C-alpha cells in the first residue's frame, strides 16, 4: 500500500524540501498550502478554517500529516499578532483535532524560541519562557496540539540550513543574494543557534511519521555557533569575501533596533534525546552545510539534464 504524506505549508522552504525527499522515498505527497509545488498533488487550504482542514484530511486520507505552515517571520509575528496566533496556534490545533479523530500520525514544527535564551543546552522538559510573540505562539501551539492529540509529535528546531526547492524563507538563499550584490551584512555575535540541514531534518520527519514516538523532541546539529560565525562560514563556502559579514553586537533580548522583535540569545538545544532514539544520524554544523550544498549541486545537475532533454526533443 502506498504511503501518503500530507504537508501543510508544503510549498515553502522546509515543506518543499520535505516533499521532494519524501517522493524519493516512495511516498505519495499532497501539498496543502495557498500555492502549489510542481510535481505534487495540491489542495488550497487555509488552516485557520476548521471545516476546510477537516474536508481536506477526510478526502485525502493521508497516512501521516506534517504541519510546517506558520507565520515564521519573528518581526512580522510581533506586528501582526492576531494573524500569527490564528495561523500558528489555532491552525495547528485544527489539524491536530482532525488527525486525532482518525488516528493519523501528526508531526508539527516548533522552535527554540519557546525559551528565553538565558540558559543553555535546553532539554525538552525545560519550562518555556518566550521573549517574543512568535515564541509565545509556538509555546501555546505545543500545549493546544498535545491537549487535542497526545499522540502528536512536536519537533523543536533552532535554525534550518539549505536552499529552497522553488521558493520560501531560506537563510542560505537570502544570504547568498545579498553577498552577490556585494552588500555588507550585519550579523549578531551573541545569537547562538543549533542548526540542522533540511535534508537530515526531512529524513527525521519521515522516520517519525512511521514511528510511534509522541511528545516533544529537539532536532539540530551536534554543535552550536553564533549567527555571525555561521554567516562567515557560508560566505567562504559560497566563494565570497567573508569580510562582507560584519559583527553586530547586541544585548540578548533587548536589541534597541527599531522594527526588530526581541530575540532569545542562546538557542543551544540539547539533541541527546534525538541521538538516543532516532536511527537518522545527526550531523555537525559543518557536515550539515556540506550536505546542503551537495543537495543543491545534485538538483542543479538534474535540472540541467532535464533542460537538455527538452532541447533534444
Helices (H), the chain: 13-24, 50-60, 74-79, 81-85, 92-102, 133-148, 171-180, 198-210, 227-238, 272-277, 285-312
Domain ranges of the chain: 4-292
Distance (Å, whole) CA 31 – CA 39: 10
Distance (Å, whole) CA 9 – CA 69: 4
Q: What is the pLDDT of residue 260?
A: 85
Contact 57, 6 (CB under 8 A): yes
Superfamily (CATH H level) for 4-292: NAD(P)-binding Rossmann-like Domain (3.40.50.720)
Which H or E run contains 31?
strand 28-33
**What b/e sequence results for 33-54 when a residue is b if at least 16 CB atoms lie within 10 Å of its CB, and e otherwise?**
beeebeebebbebbbbebebbe
Q: Does the reported pTM lie above 0.95?
A: no
Distance spanning both ends of the chain, measured CA to CA? 35
Per-residue CA distances from 80 to 112, 199, 304 (Å) = 21, 31, 41
Helix then strand then coil, in percent of the chain rounded to 5, is: 45, 20, 35
Say if strands 225-226 and 192-193 run parallel, antiparallel, or are unpaired: antiparallel
Which sign does the torsion angle of CA 167, 169, 172, 177 carry?
Answer: positive
Contact 40, 31 (CB under 8 A): yes
Distance (Å, whole) CA 301 – CA 170: 21
Rg (CA), the chain: 19
Q: What is the pLDDT of residue 300?
A: 53
Helix (H, G, I), strand (E, B) or coil at 239: coil
The CA-based diameter of the chain, rounded to the nearest angstrom, is 60
pLDDT tens-place values along the chain, 313 residues long: 789 999 999 989 999 999 999 999 999 999 998 888 777 889 999 999 999 999 999 999 999 999 999 999 999 999 999 999 999 999 999 999 999 999 999 999 999 999 999 998 999 999 999 999 999 999 999 999 999 999 999 999 999 999 998 766 788 999 999 999 999 999 999 999 999 999 999 999 999 999 999 999 999 999 999 999 999 999 999 999 999 999 987 654 445 566 789 999 999 999 999 999 999 999 999 999 999 998 876 665 444 444 344 444 4
Contact 27, 53 (CB under 8 A): no
Amino acid at each position: 500500500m502506498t504511503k501518503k504524506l500530507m504537508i501543510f505549508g508544503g510549498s515553502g522552504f522546509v515543506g518543499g524540501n520535505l516533499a521532494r525527499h519524501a517522493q524519493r522515498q516512495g511516498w505519495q505527497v499532497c501539498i496543502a498550502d495557498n500555492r502549489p509545488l510542481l510535481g505534487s498533488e495540491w489542495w488550497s487550504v487555509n488552516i485557520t478554517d476548521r471545516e476546510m482542514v477537516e474536508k481536506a484530511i477526510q478526502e485525502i486520507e493521508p497516512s501521516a500529516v506534517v504541519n510546517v505552515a506558520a507565520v515564521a517571520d519573528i518581526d512580522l509575528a510581533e506586528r501582526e499578532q492576531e494573524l500569527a496566533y490564528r495561523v500558528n496556534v489555532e491552525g495547528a490545533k485544527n489539524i491536530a483535532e482532525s488527525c486525532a479523530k482518525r488516528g493519523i500520525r501528526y508531526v508539527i514544527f516548533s522552535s527554540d524560541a519557546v525559551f528565553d535564551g538565558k540558559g543553555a543546552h535546553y532539554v525538552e522538559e525545560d519550562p518555556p519562557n518566550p521573549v517574543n510573540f512568535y515564541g509565545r505562539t509556538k509555546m501555546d501551539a505545543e500545549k493546544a496540539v498535545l491537549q487535542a492529540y497526545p499522540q502528536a509529535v512536536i519537533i523543536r528546531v533552532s535554525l534550518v540550513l539549505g536552499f529552497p526547492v522553488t521558493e520560501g524563507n531560506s537563510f542560505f538563499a537570502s544570504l547568498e543574494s545579498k553577498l552577490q550584490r556585494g552588500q555588507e551584512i550585519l550579523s549578531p555575535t551573541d545569537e547562538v543557534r543549533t542548526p540542522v540541514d533540511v535534508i537530515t531534518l526531512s529524513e527525521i520527519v519521515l522516520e517519525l511519521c512511521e514511528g510511534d514516538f509522541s511528545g516533544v523532541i529537539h532536532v539540530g546539529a551536534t554543535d552550536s555557533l553564533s549567527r555571525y560565525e555561521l554567516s562567515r562560514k557560508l560566505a567562504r563556502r559560497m566563494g565570497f569575501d567573508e569580510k562582507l559579514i560584519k559583527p553586530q553586537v547586541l544585548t540578548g533580548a533587548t536589541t534597541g533596533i527599531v522594527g526588530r522583535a526581541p530575540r532569545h540569545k542562546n538557542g543551544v538545544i540539547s539533541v541527546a534525546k534525538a541521538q538516543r532514539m532516532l536511527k537518522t544520524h545527526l550531523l555537525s554544523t559543518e557536515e550539515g552545510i556540506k550536505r546542503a550544498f551537495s543537495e543543491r549541486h545534485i538538483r542543479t545537475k538534474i535540472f540541467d539534464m532535464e533542460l537538455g532533454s527538452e532541447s533534444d526533443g
